[in-house]
Copies of this chain bind each other. A is one copy, B any other.
Amino acid sequence: MKKILLTGFVPFLDNPINPTEEIVQGLHKKSVNGWEVVGEVLPVDFHVTGDHLVELIHKVQPSAIISLGLAAGRNRITPERIAINCNDGPVDNQGYKPDGEKIISDGPDGYFSSLPIKKMVKELENNGIPAKISNTAGAYLCNHVMYRALHEIEQQKLDIFSGFIHIPASHKLALTNNIPSFAQKDLQRAIEICIGCLD
């Protein structure tokens, strides 16, 4: 069975929980639409997360990579269109504050996702789940891992679909934070539907 590397993140900034963590743990080692899920919860750390992901790619040798991230404030599932060669935003969990530096000094300015993002949005909507292609994964750790995966695949000429999906908060997170939210089980169902879009 083909393997998919599914990553999420630990909690960060003023989000006491991270619903991507629960999704990844919930799907780890499961078979979803013909794909064997290898789940990994990544640290929120500009200095280690990228390299850690690249090691995983070579260790797991997946046919697809979907990285998940929490976009607190968004009100729908948003497959990302592009990763950009830039780190910027607030401090990470180690207190490091990026300042617009490049992720890969001689890397291209951007990499489009190689996931079927239009098909994913369509399938999500067919299943009654609000979704939309996003034109920005930001410039924080979410964008960082999306870029590092796509760059490694490009550099090593690997045959792997790869990209990123931002999700809204879970209801549990929205109890404390005044942001839109989905039920956790609907967030997980959405990711299963996205995995189902992979050939």
Show the binding face of A for B, using Cβ within 8 Å.
Answer: 75-76, 81-82, 84-86, 88, 100, 108-112, 118, 125, 128-130, 132-133, 135-139, 143, 168, 171-172, 174-175, 178-183, 186
Secondary structure type dominating chain A contacts: loop
Given B81, B175, B181, B182, which contacts A86 in the complex, CB threshold below 8 Å? B81
Residues of B within 8 A of A135 (CB): 84, 86, 88, 136-139, 143
A82 to B179, alpha carbons, bound, how many Å? 24
With known contacts A84-B82, A139-B135, A75–B174 Cβ distance under 8 A: yes
Q: Which of A125, A129, A135 has the most CB of B within 10 A?
A: A135
The copy count of this chain in the complex is 4
Report B-chain residues with C-beta under 8 Å of the C-beta of A182.
171, 182-183
Q: From A172, which residue of chain B is reached at the shortest CB distance?
A: B128
Residue from B110, B172, B179, B181 within 8 A of A110 (CB atoms): B110
Bound-state CA distance A90–B88 (Å) is: 29
* A109 touches which of B75, B109, B172, B178 (Cβ 8 Å): B109
**Bound: A135/B135 CA distance, A:** 9
Q: Which residues of B contact A85 (CB under 8 A)?
A: 110, 112
Taking CB atoms, residues of chain B closer than 8 Å to A179 are 75
